[in-house]
Structure 1
Amino acid sequence: MSTKCVLIIDPELPLGIIANTGAILGAALGKLHPEINGDDIVSQEGILFPGIVNIPIPVLKSNAEKIAGIHSEASNTDNISVIAFTDCAQTAQNYVEYTESIQKVQTQDIQFLGICLYGDKKKVNHFAGDLPLLR
């Protein structure tokens, strides 16, 4: 199986929230799929450069409504990992508050700021193949 990874972020968000969304999704992806990270590297001077992701991750754009639809459909698709960053997470003061917020709300009422799709290339392309790059 050939794999692919994409981030899909709402371009209408403020620039800081877009950057934060990408960072959070990337960190969660690295936790869920540590095999995508390369080995640590030591420079000539002995400075450690911890391993970074060794696959391309294009950052695409779509509106919140379409992101929610992709999340819903992709979450029920085999061979794709779906990671979401939501308004519940962005506004929470800590992880306990985030957990409580997610557990109290219907998924249909969540605003998705961005998602990460990783898995079977054909299936990822099905959901994200027509989306433009976020620039």
Structure 2
Amino acid sequence: MKLVMVIDKELPLGMIANTAAVLGISLSKMFQKDIVGPDVEDADGNTHIGITAQTIPILGGGREQIKELRDRLFDTAFADVTTIDFSEVAQRSLEYADYTGVLSRLSGPDLYYLGVCLYGPKKKVNKLTGNIALLR
């Protein structure tokens, strides 16, 4: 399995960090046992909460590139790739109920994404994201 985040490279640094955090929280909720390692005790006996046991490449895509990627992931050929998206609608919403209310009234052409997180078979994830460079 492979894990990748693709985030809009044109966003301000704070929004990039926020997008990565939101995607990571949602991912860990779904796959905690697969992704988060066990707690670790240091030499002094202090416990450090487990962190990700997998690398998380963060790629930088353009706005249209991310939208095309997200739209492609709705195809049943990619049903085994878990996809988490963070849209402009979500970022602007102050309450979760506002987000769900607005999102439920929008269709695909009206949605733009700040970032997406993919978790699935390595070959498929590489095929989808292999042409996207690391975010720098």
TM-score, normalisation: structure 2 = 0.93
Q: Structure 1 CA distance, aligned partners of 2:107 and 2:47?
A: 44
Moved >3 Å (runs of 4+): none
Q: Structure 2 CA distance, aligned partners of 1:4 and 1:40?
A: 22
Partner of 1:12: 10
Instruction: Give the conservation status (yes or no) of the 8 Å contact 1:75–1:81.
Output: no
Percent same amino acid among aligned pairs? 39
- CA pair 48-123 structure 1, distance change in 2 beyond 3 A: same
Partner of 2:83: 82
**Are 1:32 and 2:30 an aligned pair?**
yes
Q: Structure 2 CA distance, aligned partners of 1:83 and 1:39?
A: 24
The CA deviation string for residues 8-41 of structure 1, in whole angstroms up to 9 with x for no partner, is: 0011111100010001111111011112110111
**Are 1:63 and 2:62 an aligned pair?**
yes
Cα distance, 1:108 vs structure 2: 1.7
Q: Give the RMSD, CA atoms, in angstroms.
A: 1.1
Partner of 1:103: 104
2:29 alignment partner AA: K
TM-score, normalisation: structure 1 = 0.93
Structure 1 unmatched ranges of 5 or more: none
